[in-house]
Amino acid sequence: MAIMECGHIAVFAFPFGTHAAPLFNLVQRLAMASPNTIFSFFSTRQSNKSIFSDQKHEMIKPFDVEDGLPENYVFKGNPQEPVELFIRATPHNFKRSLQVAVDERKREISCIISDAFLWFCQEIAAEMCVPWIPLWTGGPFSLTSHIYTDIIRETFADKRPEDCEKEPLEFISGMSQISAKDLPEGILFGNLETEFPLLLHSMARTLPKATAVAINSFEEIEETIAKDLKTKFNKFLNVGPLTLTSSTDEPASDDNGCLSWLSNQKPASVAYISFGSIITPPPKEVVALAEALEKSGFPFLWSVRGNTKDFLPEGFLERTADKGKVVPWAPQKGVLAHKSVGVFVTHCGWNSICESIVGGVPMICRPFFGDQKLNTKVLEDVWGIGLGVKDCVIAEDNMISVLERIILQEEGKKMREKLRNFKGLAETAVGPNGSSTENFKTLVEIVTATK
């Protein structure tokens, strides 16, 4: 295989949630592994601003793509709306910026790496006769659910939703403990003809044409699924968990003093709470959670954004000041690696799960959308390292009970033992000659090879 002197890799990001960050993380590693290659990173202005905020990257240059929002757009509270407007602007917004990058950097594109959601990259790459490598930023269970969308729909075609909900997905490798009701919405349930389910369906049909599909996970975490997906894709490359392979090992800033506060707490005693970068739980659940924390008396660190603070019970912050800390943002990776954290109350985003596994922290799961319900099921019933809140809604008594089960009881101890094993497997996978390290080498070969 000839090695291109100077490749130019186009990287197309999905600019919502925590999608662009793991993609950027992977690209940074690739840039270090292939010094002659230049990278053009395409995302919306807002997304690029946060990704490229404090770092300079000689070989990785950001290019803004239009976000699809009408001029003077006012956000009215529906989080799906900007996503749908963005999807409608694709692929033309990416194509326009791609041309700008080629003209400016004076190098033709040699490879496209993208978020897996951006399935149209397959056509762009095919037109240019270059490889396309999509990255799935979620876990193996959600990826396999999407890949089997057509088969799942055919299997349940003649059944009413209430009749198929509890049916185990035994016909899919590695999914026998999962039922139809655990699937991400848009596969079997929900309005399948709206923007996002249509995008996911197109993605599922297009990924098998990719040169290789990469995933932010490691083979050993779910070997049956990894083996099966290898038969579906030209190449299936588990290159994670990317939280362990970050090439910039500078610790995240801790402006709110979370880590020093944790250092004054007892080992495995603190409940850390965060619902990721997008979600604000309903006011009723914020109140229930606050009351559960106050009554149970466990020390807590709560990362809260938006107007959630407005919903906290009157006087809560003052009454709990010696027990708890409420911050607008926490250096989560460092928090979950801290020995004082005993449990993580989470929405079950995949990045949070990976960070919790690597930190060895059991989870209490309150899922909201997308892959989160499925992730909850996996953490609770397949891997045994988490507990879901009853009926997927936070209620005071139930929250106290799950906090106690994990922090105080034998159940939590067993989860921590299992997590030690997962953590070991993850570290081995990204270590010398580990499966993720070897897969990463394959990825480097693909992106640096000529046509």
Ligand X SMILES: O=c1ccn([C@@H]2O[C@H](COP(=O)(O)OP(=O)(O)O[C@H]3O[C@H](CO)[C@@H](O)[C@H](O)[C@H]3O)[C@@H](O)[C@H]2O)c(=O)[nH]1
User: Among the candidate windows 32-40, 91-99, 163-171, 368-376, which touches ligand X by CB under 6 A?
Assistant: 368-376
| Residue 110 Cβ vs ligand X, minimum distance, rounded to whole Å | 27
| Residue 241 Cβ vs ligand X, minimum distance, rounded to whole Å | 11
Which residues, 6+ apart, have CB-to-CB distance to 16 below 8 Å? 47, 82, 83, 86, 278
Pattern of binders to ligand X over 270-309, x per CB under 6 A?
Answer: ----x-xxx------------------------x------
**Closest to ligand X by CB, 19 or 201:** 19
How big is the site for ligand X, counted in residues (CB under 6 A)?
A: 22
Residue 366 is which amino acid? Answer: R
DSSP string, 42-96: EEEHHHHHHHTSS---SSEEEEEE---PPTT----S-THHHHHHHHHHTTHHHHH
**Closest to ligand X by CB, 19 or 29:** 19
| Residue 135 Cβ vs ligand X, minimum distance, rounded to whole Å | 10
Q: Which of 57, 64, 115, 381 is catalytic?
A: 115
The reply to whether 113 sits near ligand X by the rule CB under 6 A is no
Taking the C-alpha atoms of residue 100 and residue 94, their distance in angstroms, rounded to an integer, is 10
**Closest to ligand X by CB, 19 or 366:** 19
The reply to whether 137 sits near ligand X by the rule CB under 6 A is yes
- In this structure, what token pair is assigned to residue 304? 């809260």
Phi-psi region of 367 (alpha: psi -120 to 50; beta: other; left: phi over 0): beta
Pattern of binders to ligand X over 304-333, x per CB under 6 A?
Answer: -------------------------xx-xx
The reply to whether 18 sits near ligand X by the rule CB under 6 A is yes
The reply to whether 201 sits near ligand X by the rule CB under 6 A is no
CB 59 within 8 A of CB 31: yes
**Closest to ligand X by CB, 119 or 156:** 119
**Closest to ligand X by CB, 98 or 430:** 430
Choosing from 15, 131, 349, 359, the residue that interacts with ligand X (CB under 6 A) is: 349
Choosing from 68, 131, 134, 138, the residue that interacts with ligand X (CB under 6 A) is: 138
| Residue 313 Cβ vs ligand X, minimum distance, rounded to whole Å | 21
CA nearest to 316, candidates 279, 345, 284, 287:
287
| Residue 82 Cβ vs ligand X, minimum distance, rounded to whole Å | 14
Burial letters 315-350, b for 16+ CB under 10 A, else e = ebeeebeeebbbbebbbbbbbbbbebbbbbbbbbbb
CA nearest to 213, candidates 261, 272, 147, 269:
147
User: Among the candidate windows 12-20, 154-162, 165-173, 286-294, which touches ligand X by CB under 6 A?
Assistant: 12-20
Q: Which residue is nearest to ligand X (CB)?
A: 349
Strand stretches in 185-280, DSSP E: 213-215, 236-238, 270-274
| Residue 80 Cβ vs ligand X, minimum distance, rounded to whole Å | 12
**Closest to ligand X by CB, 17 or 412:** 17
The reply to whether 222 sits near ligand X by the rule CB under 6 A is no
| Residue 194 Cβ vs ligand X, minimum distance, rounded to whole Å | 18
**Closest to ligand X by CB, 156 or 261:** 261
The reply to whether 355 sits near ligand X by the rule CB under 6 A is yes
| Residue 350 Cβ vs ligand X, minimum distance, rounded to whole Å | 4
Pattern of binders to ligand X over 369-408, x per CB under 6 A?
Answer: -xxx------------------------------------
Taking the C-alpha atoms of residue 32 and residue 323, their distance in angstroms, rounded to an integer, is 44
**From the centroid of its chain, how far is CA 407?**
26
| Residue 116 Cβ vs ligand X, minimum distance, rounded to whole Å | 9
- In this structure, what token pair is assigned to residue 15? 């600019």
User: Among the candidate windows 44-52, 234-242, 351-359, 407-415, which touches ligand X by CB under 6 A?
Assistant: 351-359
Q: Which residue has the tokens 């009723």?
A: 284
∠ Cα 139 188 351 (to 5°): 20
Q: Is 19 a catalytic residue?
A: yes
User: Would you call 357 exposed, middle or buried from its count of C-beta atoms within 10 A (0-12, 13-18, 19+)?
Assistant: buried
List, in sequence order, the alpha helices (H) in 297-409.
Answer: 316-319, 332-337, 350-359, 372-377, 396-407
**Closest to ligand X by CB, 215 or 415:** 215
Phi-psi region of 194 (alpha: psi -120 to 50; beta: other; left: phi over 0): beta
Which residues, 6+ apart, have CB-to-CB distance to 80 below 8 Å? 196
CB 57 within 8 A of CB 51: no
Q: Is 115 a catalytic residue?
A: yes
Q: Which of 19, 201, 338, 347 is catalytic?
A: 19
Residue 105 is which amino acid? Answer: R
Taking the C-alpha atoms of residue 187 and residue 205, their distance in angstroms, rounded to an integer, is 13
Catalytic residues: 19, 115
Given the rule CB under 6 A, which residues bind ligand X? Answer: 17-19, 137-138, 274, 276-278, 303, 329-330, 332-333, 349-352, 355, 370-372
